[in-house]
Amino acid sequence: MHSNPTPVARTTGAGPRRPNIAVIGGSLTGPVTALLLLRAGFDVTVYEATPASAPLGGGLIGLEHTALDVLDRLDIPQREFIAYDSETILQVAVRDRQPEQTVLRTYPGRNTTWTLLHRALAARVPAGVLRKGMRVTGLTERAGRPVLRFADGHAPEPADLVVFADGRSSTGRRLLDPARRLHYAGYVAHRGIAASTPQPDLRDFVRLEPCPGAQFNIAPVPGGCDWTFYLGCTATEYEQRFGAKPTRRVFALPQHITPAARTHVDEHADHLLPPDHAAVVRATTTRMAVPVLDIDPPTRMVWPVGDGHAVLLGDALAPVRPHTARGANNGIEPAAGLAVALTQHRRYGADLPTALHAWQRRHLPTAAAAVRQGPIIGDKLGLGSR
């Protein structure tokens, strides 16, 4: 792919019309994008691959002020998805299973969970906009318009702009930017949702650093706490513990957690963490795991498809290591910018390819920088290999 390409300019004799926009992905970035575009007066359809009966979920999410402001503009009160308004991060050095030194840091935002934020977003997507069980398999052109193709016999559907916000295993990235593939970083984020906390008054995000090659994060959530334990793991070990290669099973759900995987985490908790934190880990029944993955930094966000366009957003564009705390932010912030660019086109006749190129120029460096930052942070923690 060429670096920083300029979208091809196109002109027509008619004035701008209201584009029909297809958003691929119903997790977080997709619904945010859809709500922003609906508010701006666009025709939007959201296609989600998982059926209505499929479980979805995720862990703790950090939202910076810029992303929080986007949600404010969608009239989603923070109290609806922010259970604890602490901005404090307690960074604790642990030696011989005891806290040795604590440094207080301030996070420029708030923490939420995937579940709380998704629930708030889903409640606002109008009936008929979200179509579940629609797995995109291809993107072609017909009569100058992008056309989405689906699995399971669903008829192809045209659009003027296709927004791929379909996560780390993005079909859109595979179709538009196939040279950029995920590769395993060599460690796993083991996750748990516990019904208890190490301290009854836990309100802040706590990061325990017991030794190089391990990190344990814990924060309060409604009904208990959410913890993440980062531990090294070879690709072979991952496949043995979770039933598939890390680049194939990018989320290990509770049914994928083998007894061997559970024992591995429990033993490391007993060896490295303070006893009260280790007890919380052992008592946690609902567990998941996420292999930490890297990708080459993106060089573009926009692709012409006939007379229309396709774009990549969030994890579909550039999945980042969780230590960067940029995952959700890198989806929400450019989604707001995209809505602005499209509004200028529809309302005032701004040239669409130029507007999209300007949007790319503003947001692409931030996404690329976060991708590069992840391995640097991992190196400092002794996690993974560059």
Is the confidence at residue 121, as pLDDT, over 70?
A: yes
As for how many domains the chain has, the answer is 2
Predicted confidence (pLDDT) per residue in 123-164, tens digit = 999 989 999 999 999 999 999 999 999 998 899 999 999 999
Is the confidence at residue 81, as pLDDT, over 50?
A: yes
Cα dihedral across residues 348, 352, 356, 357: positive or negative:
negative
Predicted confidence (pLDDT) per residue in 173-215, tens digit = 999 999 999 999 999 999 999 998 998 889 999 999 999 999 9
Between CA 18 and CA 35 the distance in angstroms is 16
Residue 385 banded pLDDT, cuts 50, 70, 90: low
| Residue where a domain stops, chosen among 293, 319, 334 | 293
Closest to 129 measured CA to CA, from 20, 16, 18: 20
Is the confidence at residue 11, as pLDDT, over 90?
A: no
Q: How many of the other CB atoms lie within 10 Å of CB of 39? A: 15
- Domain harbouring 43, CATH code: 3.50.50.60
User: How would you write 313-372 as a 3-class SS string?
Assistant: CHHHCCCCCHHHCCCCHHHHHHHHHHHHHHHHHHHHCCCHHHHHHHHHHHHHHHHHHHHH
pLDDT score recorded for residue 168: 94
pLDDT score recorded for residue 199: 86
pLDDT score recorded for residue 86: 94
Q: Which residues contact 348 (CB under 8 A, 6 or more apart)?
A: none
Look up residue 231 and give its DSSP letter: E
Closest to 166 measured CA to CA, from 44, 280, 316: 316
Burial class from Cβ neighbours inside 10 Å (0-12, 13-18, 19+) for residue 233 reads: buried
Percent of the chain with pLDDT over 70: 93
Q: Strand 20-24 relative to strand 157-158: parallel, antiparallel, unpaired?
A: unpaired
Is the confidence at residue 341, as pLDDT, over 80?
A: yes
Contact 192, 262 (CB under 8 A): no
Amino acid letter, 359: W
Per-residue pLDDT, averaged over 94-119, amounts to 95
Q: Please give the structure tokens belonging to residue 81.
A: 């998805």
Alpha carbon dihedral 70, 76, 77, 78, in 10-degree steps, equals -50
Concatenating the DSSP letter of every residue in 155-171 gives PPEE-SEEEE---TT-H
* Residue 263 forms part of a structural domain: yes
Q: Which residues face 21 on adjacent strands?
A: 44, 161
pLDDT score recorded for residue 200: 86
| Residue where a domain stops, chosen among 233, 261, 293 | 293
Residue 8 banded pLDDT, cuts 50, 70, 90: very low
- Domain harbouring 217, CATH code: 3.30.9.60
Amino acid letter, 276: D
Look up residue 155 and give its DSSP letter: P
Say if residue 303 is in the same domain as residue 272. no
Q: Is 29 or 9 the better-scoring residue by pLDDT? A: 29
pLDDT score recorded for residue 318: 96
* Residue 322 forms part of a structural domain: yes
Number of alpha helices (DSSP H) and beta strands (DSSP E) in the chain: 10, 18
Contact 228, 191 (CB under 8 A): yes
Say if residue 287 is in the same domain as residue 314. no
Computed over every residue of the chain, the mean pLDDT equals 92
Residue 55 banded pLDDT, cuts 50, 70, 90: low
- The whole-model pTM stands at 0.92
Is the confidence at residue 1, as pLDDT, over 60?
A: no
Say if residue 223 is in the same domain as residue 369. no
